[in-house]
Amino acid sequence: MRRFFTLLLVTGLLVACSESTNFTVSGTVKGLKKGTLYLQRIQDTALVNIDSIVVDGDPEFEFSLTIDEPEVLYLHLDKVDASGYDDRILFFAEPGEMNITTSLKNFEGFAAVMGAENQMRWTEFQKMNQKFNDKNVDLIKGSYDAQVSGVQEDILKYDDSLQRLLRSKYRYTGQFASTHADLEMAPFLILSQIPDANVTYLDTIYKRFPNKIKRSKYGKQLEKLIQERKAAQE
């Protein structure tokens, strides 16, 4: 009888532990021999550690935790042998399982993140956003060269091109968020990419979100931003 109750207690503990988490992120950092991986989130505007794993020979990792709703988390690498490549990977976590495969050499740039719908759409947006960023770098270089040469016509041309590119990025971001308004990623996209856009434009996008998204973590933050922007204009 005593063995039966002991077994029952152990089984209960295992079930309780399994029910205490609803999200798992696992993966591999190719080439990593020693270092520490941190799972992080933004809390009260500060980046805080949720959990950590000390890597000693095995490049595979796994974190399990409970999340109340889809949210952005970060995987941070703190290397022991050299600090030149320390970096963070931003990903959109939601209940279920995710996988991150990356490398020591280019921790963020080589990251392949497999997740649910929010992460899939975030990755999709990032690919297009990188094209905007690359074009922006080219235009800034051209603008600098034009200013050095002093050719006013070229200076104005590059300034106009930079402004048009910025407007294009803002339109694309807003349209992408509106297209995927049923995802928690949408308000985060606005907050992280175009928080300084015209407040009427932001409000128009926000009103397209269903109530579930308006009540989400980033939906509430976006509503607060819009209210503060409107108040500042009064």
Confidence of residue 6 (pLDDT cuts 50, 70, 90): very low
User: In the predicted model, what is the mean pLDDT of residues 127-155?
Assistant: 93
pLDDT confidence bin for 150, thresholds 50/70/90: confident
Q: What is the pLDDT of residue 105?
A: 87
Residue 18 pLDDT exceeds 80: no
The mean per-residue pLDDT over the stretch 194-219 comes to: 97
Q: What is the per-residue pLDDT for 8?
A: 46
Residue 79: band (very low, low, confident or very high) from pLDDT cuts 50, 70, 90: confident
In which band, very low, low, confident or very high, does the pLDDT at 122 lie, cut at 50, 70 and 90?
Answer: very high
Q: Return the DSSP state at 14.
A: H
28: which strand partners? 60, 101
Question: Per-domain residue ranges for the chain?
Answer: 17-115, 119-233
Q: Quick check: 10 pLDDT over 60?
A: no
Q: What is the mean pLDDT of residues 67-90?
A: 81
**Stretch (H or E) spanning 192:** helix 185-193
Tell me the pLDDT of the chain averaged across its residues: 89
Confidence at 19, pLDDT banded by 50, 70, 90: low
By C-alpha distance, which of 190, 200, 188, 186 is closest to 170?
Answer: 190
Question: Which residue in this structure is represented by tokens 């590119």?
Answer: 165
- Percent of the chain scored above 70 by pLDDT? 89
Residues in the chain: 234
15 to each of 12, 19, 25, 46, 62, how far by Cα in Å?
A: 5, 6, 20, 34, 19
Q: Provide DSSP, 122-174.
A: HHHHHHHHHHHHHHHHHHHHHHHHHHHHT-HHHHHHHHHHHHHHHHHHHHHHH
For 203-213, how does the pLDDT look when each residue is reduced to its tens digit (9 = 90+)? Answer: 999 999 999 99
Domain 17-115: which CATH number of 3.40.920.10, 2.60.40.3120, 3.20.20.370, 2.60.40.1120: 2.60.40.1120
Query: Quick one: CA dihedral 79, 108, 28, 121, positive or negative?
Result: positive
Q: Which helix (H) or strand (E) holds 51?
A: strand 46-56
Give pLDDT, residue 11.
47
| Angstrom distance (rounded) from CA 59 to CA 72 | 23
Q: Does 135 score more than 50 pLDDT?
A: yes
